[in-house]
Structure 1
Amino acid sequence: MSTRLETNATEVTQVKNSKFKVNPRNLLKKYGIVLILLSLIVIMSVLTPHFLTSINLINIVKQMSIIGIIAIGVTPIIITKGIDLSSGSLIALVSVVGATFAQAGQYPIIVPIIMALGVGLLAGLINGTLVAKGLLAPFIATLGMMTAARGVAMLVSDGRPIGNLDSAFLFIGQGSILGVPVLVIIFALVGIITWVLLNKTKIGKYIYAIGGNEHAAVTAGINVSRVLIIIYAYAGLLAGLAGMMLTSRIASGQPQSGLMFELDAIAAAVIGGASLFGGIGTIGGTIIGALIIGVMNNGLDLLGVSSYWQQIVKGAIIVAAVYIDSRKNSKKS
Structure 2
Amino acid sequence: MKKETRSFDLKKIVSDHSALVSFLALFIVALAVKGTIFLQLNNIINILRNNSVVGIIALGMTLIIITGGIDLSVGSQLAFIGVVVINVLVNTQSVFLALLTGLVVAVVVGFLTGYVTAKFKVPAFITTLGTMSIYRSISQFWMNGGGISSSGSAGSSYIAISNKNLFGLIPMPIIVWLVCAIVIYLYTTHTGVGRHVYAVGSNEKAAKLAGVNVVKVKTMVYVIGSVLILIATVVETSRLGSVNSASSGSGYEMDAIAAAVIGGTSMAGGKGTVVGTVLGTLTLGIIDNLMNLLGVNPFLVNAVKGTIIIVAVLLQIFLNKKSD
* TM-score (structure 1 length as normaliser): 0.88
Cα distance in 2, alignment partners of residues 242 and 308 from structure 1:
24
User: Does residue 222 in structure 1 map to residue 208 in structure 2?
Assistant: no
8 A Cα contact 1:80 1:211, kept in partner? yes
Per-residue deviation, residues 61-109 of structure 1 (Å, max 9, x unmatched): 1111100111000111111111011100001111211221233x94222
Q: Which of 53, 65, 74 matches 2:52?
A: 65
Query: Which residue matches 2:281?
Result: 290
User: What letter matches 1:198 in structure 2?
Assistant: T
Count of aligned positions: 310
Q: Which of 162, 165, 168 matches 1:176?
A: 165
Cα distance in 2, alignment partners of residues 140 and 222 from structure 1:
25
8 A Cα contact 1:123 1:233, kept in partner? yes
TM-fit CA distance, 1:157: 1.5
Give me the identity figure in percent: 35
Cα distance in 1, alignment partners of residues 317 and 118 from structure 2:
26
Q: Which piece of structure 1 moves more, 179-188 or 109-118?
A: 109-118
Per-residue deviation, residues 16-58 of structure 1 (Å, max 9, x unmatched): xxxxxxx655544444422332332232233233221111111
TM-fit CA distance, 1:222: 0.6
Greater C-alpha Rg = 1
User: What letter matches 2:244 in structure 1?
Assistant: Q
Cα distance in 1, alignment partners of residues 115 and 11 from structure 2:
42
Structure 2: gaps of 5 or more residues = 1-8
Cα distance in 2, alignment partners of residues 325 and 125 from structure 1:
31
User: Does residue 37 in structure 1 map to residue 26 in structure 2?
Assistant: no
Query: Which residue matches 2:5?
Result: none
> Which SS does the other structure have where 2:243 is aligned?
coil
Q: Which of 72, 75, 87 matches 1:88?
A: 75
Query: Which residue matches 1:100?
Result: 87
Query: Which residue matches 2:3?
Result: none
8 A Cα contact 1:123 1:145, kept in partner? no
Cα distance in 2, alignment partners of residues 252 and 172 from structure 1:
13
Cα distance in 2, alignment partners of residues 136 and 29 from structure 1:
31
- CA 1:194 to 1:86, structure 2 compared with 1: closer, same or farther past 3 Å? same
User: What letter matches 1:205 in structure 2?
Assistant: R
User: What letter matches 2:164 in structure 1?
Assistant: G
> Which SS does the other structure have where 1:280 is aligned?
coil
* TM-score (structure 2 length as normaliser): 0.91
8 A Cα contact 1:98 1:253, kept in partner? no
> Which SS does the other structure have where 1:101 is aligned?
helix
User: What letter matches 2:98 in structure 1?
Assistant: P
RMSD of aligned C-alpha atoms? Answer: 1.7
Query: Which residue matches 2:102?
Result: 116
Cα distance in 2, alignment partners of residues 248 and 135 from structure 1:
37
Q: Which of 261, 264, 274 matches 2:255?
A: 264
> Which SS does the other structure have where 1:222 is aligned?
coil
TM-fit CA distance, 1:182: 1.1
8 A Cα contact 1:99 1:252, kept in partner? yes
